[in-house]
Structure 1
Amino acid sequence: MFAEYTTSELTAIFAMQGFAGLILFSVLVLMALGLAIIFGQMGVINMAHGEFMILGAYVTYLTSNLFATYLPGLFDAYFFVAMGLAFLATFLLGMLVEWGLIRFLYKRPLDTLLATWGLSLILQQLYRSIFGAREVGVTLPDWMMGSYPLTDVIEVPVNGLFVMALTIVITTGVYFLMFRSRWGKQVRAVVQNRPMASAVGINTGKVDRYTFGIGCGIAGVAGSAFTMIGSTGPTSGQLYIVDTFLVVVFGGAQSLFGTIASAFTISQAQSTMEFFLSGSMAKVLTLLFVVGILMLRPQGLFTLKVRK
């Protein structure tokens, strides 16, 4: 497989595929962070998580068109506005879904799986009815175009660097929110002992609603990032939901560091193997590797330690 390439060519290939893997890693981390909060902290299997991501992507698309038509002078700044609107839209929809559906299904994971799968189909059809079946793309600002040449054969796209920087900011924000804030302490208290948390005055229903909303909101930001690397269609979210669940389960459902480490491992493996093999074979080999590890360590790479 490697014999037909020279050492310099292999170095360039691994470098380029490694950076492509970092971009995939960034999107997977943003998707998995929201899912880890919902699944890891609440035990809810949200099969509509990909559709929340696509809602964020469509909000970014609409914001791009709005700025291009009515505010062309501010077009270079539209993406930051789009990310804020994407978070707000998915956050509010997430809270509505938790209030109207999820709160009746706690401690019934299979029921949440079926209910959210039905919700994903409803959202897909809604997107198809509003935006059409064809995929759409956004126009990026000029400052996001182009690339930085690292060597004569290796170039780094600017939008990829922006996605990675965004991922670092969001991940840092989630860490401080979950482990350094009063609200994060309430979430962890509810996870570890819901009756006791309620007994000391924590509004567990409010914590659940905001937790679900924030998890969906992060998926909306992931949708904004997704528009820079792919086109948006009604079913685009389903292309990432399996990989996202794989990342969360492989890393440990309640571990933030495990989610990041798992996303990095899976994205780099898939990106490198896709160059030398087919995309489907890369996914098969990655899945086999993850299944093998989970057979030896079912709790995932990292687990949350709590007192028994």
Structure 2
Amino acid sequence: MFGDYSISDLGAILAMQGFAGLILFSVYVLMALGLAIIFGQMGVINMAHGEFMILGAYVTWMTSNAVQHVAPWLFPGYFFIAMILAFITSGALGMLVEWALIRHLYKRPLDTLLATWGLSLILQQAYRSIFGAREVGVELPEWMMGSWQATDSIQIPINGMFVMALTILITTVVFYILFWSSWGKQVRAVVQNRVMAGAVGINTEKVDRYTFGLGCGIAGIAGSAFTMIGSTGPTAGQLYIVDTFLVVVFGGAASLFGTIASAFSISQTQSTLEFFLSGSMAKVITLLTIVGILMVRPQGLFALKVRK
């Protein structure tokens, strides 16, 4: 597999694939952060999480078209507007879904799996009816085009660097909200002991609703980032949902540090193997490795310690 390449060629290949893995890592982190918050706090298996991501992608696409026709002078910075709208739209839909469906299914994880799987099919058909079955793509501003020449043999896409910077910013904000804000303290109290949290006056239903909305809103931002590296279609979210659940389980449910470490290791392994092997074989080897590790450490890379 490596015999046809010189040492310098292998170094350049690993560097390029490593950066490609960082872009995939960014999408995984944005997707998995929301899913880890939802699954870790409420025990809800949200199989429609990919459709919330695609909703954010469609919002970004619509914003791009609207800005080009109505206010073309805003086009260089339209993505920031689109990202905010994607977060609000996906988060609002998430809160509606929690109120109408999820709140009736707490402590019934298999029922939430089936219900959200049905919701994902409904949303896919809704996207197909509203936006059409064909995939669509956004037009990037000129400043996001091109690449940065790191060395003579390594070129780094500018939009990829932007996606990674966005991921760092969103991750920092989420950590601040969950670990330093008063609302984050309420969320962690509900995670550790829901009954006692309610007994001391925390509105657990309201915390659940806003948490579900936050998780879905982050998925919407992931959809905005996704438009920079792929086209958007009604079923595109299903391509990432399995990998996202794999990231959450491998990292350890309810552990944000584990989610980031898991996303990094999976994306780097998969990206590097895809260059030397086929994409399907890279996924198979990655999956088998993770299954083997989980057999030895079923709680994942990091486990949240709570008082029993």
Q: Which TM-score applies when normalising by structure 1?
A: 0.99
Query: How far apart, in 1, do the equivalents of 2:124 and 2:306 lie?
Result: 39
Aligned to 1:205: 205
1:108 equivalent in structure 2: 108
- Secondary structure of the 1:69 match is helix
2:238 is aligned to: 238
* In structure 2, distance between residues paired with 1:276 and 1:71: 46
Which residue matches 2:216?
216
Q: Secondary structure at the match of 2:298?
A: coil
1:274, distance to aligned residue in structure 2 (A): 0.3
In the alignment, the residues of structure 2 paired with residue 306 and residue 102 of structure 1 have an alpha-carbon distance, to the nearest angstrom, of 25
Q: Secondary structure at the match of 1:78?
A: helix
Aligned to 2:29: 29
Could you tell me which residue of structure 2 aligns to residue 138 of structure 1?
Answer: 138
Q: Mind listing any 5+ residue stretches in structure 2 that lack a counterpart?
A: none
The 2-side partners of 1:187 and 1:197 are apart by: 9
Residue 156 of structure 2: SS of its match in structure 1? strand
Q: CA deviation at 1:193?
A: 1.3
Deviates more, 1:233-242 or 1:4-13: 4-13
Name the structure 2 match of 1:167.
167
Aligned equivalents of 1:287, 1:175: Cα separation in 2: 28
SS at match of 1:156: strand
Matched residue, 2:300: 300
Q: 1:85 aligns to what?
A: 85
Q: Tell me the SS of whatever aligns to 1:302.
A: coil
- Letter aligned with residue 92 of structure 2: L
| Mapping for residues 1-308 of structure 1, pairs under 5 Å | 1-308=1-308
- Aligned partners of 2:187, 2:73: CA distance in 1, in Å? 43
Indicate the SS of the match to 2:2. Answer: coil
> Is residue 148–residue 156 contact of structure 2 (8 Å, CA) maintained in 1?
yes
Q: How far did residue 194 of structure 1 move?
A: 1.2
2-structure distance, mates of 1:283, 1:295:
18
8 Å CA contact retained: 2:192, 2:307: no
Q: List gaps (5 residues or longer) in structure 1.
A: none
User: What amino acid does structure 2 have at the position aligned with 1:217?
Assistant: G
Q: Which consecutive segments of 4 or more residues in structure 1 shift more than 6 A?
A: none
Deviates more, 1:196-205 or 1:228-237: 196-205
Number of equivalences: 308
Looking at structure 2, the residues matched to 7 and 212 of structure 1 have their Cα atoms a distance apart, in angstroms, of 48
C-alpha displacement of 1:183: 0.6
Equivalent position SS for 1:174? helix
Counterparts of 1:53 and 1:141 in 2: how far apart (Å)?
21
Tell me the TM-score normalized by structure 2. 0.99
Q: How many angstroms apart in 2 are the aligned matches of 1:4 and 1:168?
A: 37
After superposition, the C-alpha distances for 1:267-294 in whole angstroms (9 at most, x for unaligned) are 0000000000000000000000000000
In structure 1, distance between residues paired with 2:72 and 2:179: 41
Alpha-carbon separation, structure 1, partners of 2:99 and 2:14: 47
Q: Deviations over 1:212-239 (max 9, x none)?
A: 0000000000000000000000000000
Q: Which amino acid aligns with 2:267?
A: S
Deviations 1:17-41 (A, max 9, x none): 0000000000000000000000111
Q: Counterpart of 2:222 in 1: which secondary structure? A: helix
Aligned-partner Cα distance in 1 for 2:19–2:36: 24
> Using the alignment, how far apart are the partners of 1:42 and 1:176 within structure 2?
20
Cα distance in 2, alignment partners of residues 189 and 16 from structure 1? 43
| Partners of 1:272 and 1:199 in 2: CA distance | 50
Q: Secondary structure at the match of 2:148?
A: strand
- Aligned partner letter, 2:33: L
Alpha-carbon distance in 2 for matches of 1:188, 1:45: 19
Q: Distance in 1 between matches of 2:180 and 2:128?
A: 41
Report the CA distance between 1:307 and its aligned residue. Answer: 2.1
Q: Which amino acid aligns with 1:181?
A: S
Partner letter of residue 279 of structure 2? G
Q: Output the CA distance in 2 between the equivalents of 1:219 and 1:41.
A: 17
